[in-house]
Chain A
Amino acid sequence: MTEDEHREGIKGMANPGRYGIERIAYLLMRLTGLGLLGYFIAHVYETSNILRGRMGWDDFLAMTQTTEGHIFLALVIGMCVFHTGNGIRIMLGHGGVGVGAPARPDYPYQPASQNYRHKIGIYSSIVLAAVAMMYGMAVMFGE
């Protein structure tokens, strides 16, 4: 970035510390989206191993039966649940659902679009993701 533009760049976009839980949700949404895209590509590669026959398939699948593999899959579960829950919240918001109604603002101004419904949606998505990860780990490590 040049000083002429004085843009914050990715560092500014990814800085979640200044603008509350909504900005943290924004960052998590992007990270989980990229993570799931990476998983999707890896998943296509993994399933293509079936072309190597049963032995090849079993060998590759054994990678997911390790401690690291379980942790990786637990992360995928967490990313998937958060991205889904928060995605539903955002899709509704994008249509103007649950973002409040226009009104004459009174000082101190509290933006109606950043209301408790959306905060509950964000926190619920985080909690659901954590619960799903814990359940996933309990199943995988409990084998």
Chain B
Amino acid sequence: MAQVSSIADEQASTPLSSPKSIVLRISKFNPKSDESSKFMEFTVPYQKWTTVLEAILDVKKHFDHSVAVRYSCRQATCGSCGMMINGKPKLACFTKISELDSDVVTVEPMNNFPVIRDLTVGFEKLFEKHQKIQPYLIRDDSELESDEREFLQSPQEVEQYIQFANCIKCGLCNSACPTMATDSSFVGPQALAQAYRYVADSRDKGKDSRLNIIDESHGIWRCHFAGSCSQVCPKGVDPAMGIQFLRGYLLGFRS
């Protein structure tokens, strides 16, 4: 059963000089007590700069403080507020309502992640797979001696991996991936892109070790280059590119 509510003018955190408003549909689901998810509807005013996260927080503040949403930085840096917005995975803090070009905005928890409650999903598997690919520099001489200098890199060497180091582990790529939709054991675009990030780092010597980890039936071979991961990445990481480069090592295209 949907509930339609409107924010009273004097209560909204968004200035109400604008006559514009949208219907915000929020998915409500508690795995411990509910059998299925349901949508609550709220009429929320917005300005052209209002983000989906701000609209959700307005609802939390004035109507239903039980709405569960994870957020922190509000500037697309912490990667906490990923959710399905009108059917596509996006960061709520990085998505302006005015850009959605819709009178109804539907927010749901990200696909392919277990739901903790409402819009909040569990990241345990994402972090587990991230750790699996050894996301750190591997060297024989990993500890610097007191009289040594830091590991130097040329700008060109930095350029090889810096794009992939932008990953904020928000999970949007895993949510958009068609393979993740059906294969819970798949390593996923986030972890694979991070594997490439370290393999491409000239300071790292762990390429063979990482290639062994991802060279398995639920590893890199399950990627079919649909590219959806790259299209939803809010930081321009382009996981699809990293994965294809990584596969190039295994296929002998790269060395």
Contact = CB atoms under 8 A, between A and B. Distances in A.
B interface secondary structure, majority: loop
B227 A90 contact: no
Given A7-B184, A104-B162, A109-B236, A19 B226 contact: yes
B58 interface: no
B29 interface: yes
B241 A12 contact: no
A102 interface: yes
Given A5-B114, A6-B114, A8-B181, A113 B87 contact: no
B87 A99 contact: no
Interface string A1-19: 0011111111011000011
A94 B180 CA distance: 18
Contacts of A12: 111, 178, 181
A3 B241 contact: no
A5 B183 CA distance: 11
**Interface secondary structure of A, over-half rule:** loop
Contacts of B237: 105
B200 interface: yes
A107 interface: yes
B241 A99 contact: yes
B114 A4 contact: yes
Contacts of A23: 178, 226-228
Interface in A9-45: 9-10, 12-13, 18-20, 22-23, 25-26, 29-30
B96 to A, nearest CB: 13
Interface string B216-255: 0000000011111011111111101110110110010110
Interface residues of A, number: 40
A20 to B, nearest CB: 6
Contacts of B176: 18-19
Contacts of B232: 19
A13 B241 contact: no
B42 interface: no
Contacts of B233: 109, 111
A20 B226 CA distance: 10
Interface string B164-182: 1010000000001011111
Given A95-B247, A96-B245, A111-B241, A4 B253 contact: no
Contacts of B238: 100, 105, 109, 111-113
A97 B234 CA distance: 24
Interface string B77-121: 000000000011000000000000000000001111111000001
A56 interface: no
A106 B87 CA distance: 26
Which among B87, B227, B233, B234 has the greatest number of chain A C-beta atoms within 10 A?
A: B227
A139 interface: no
Interface of A: 3-10, 12-13, 18-20, 22-23, 25-26, 29-30, 90, 93-97, 99-100, 102-107, 109-114, 118
Given A26-B227, A113-B244, 11 more contacts: A7-B184, A13-B181, A19-B88, A20-B227, A22-B225, A94-B244, A104-B163, A109-B234, A111-B231, A112-B238, A118-B227
24 contacts: A4-B114, A7-B184, A13-B181, A18-B176, A19-B176, A20-B231, A22-B231, A23-B178, A23-B226, A23-B227, A26-B227, A94-B225, A95-B248, A96-B253, A99-B240, A102-B164, A103-B163, A104-B159, A104-B162, A105-B163, A105-B236, A109-B233, A110-B236, A114-B240
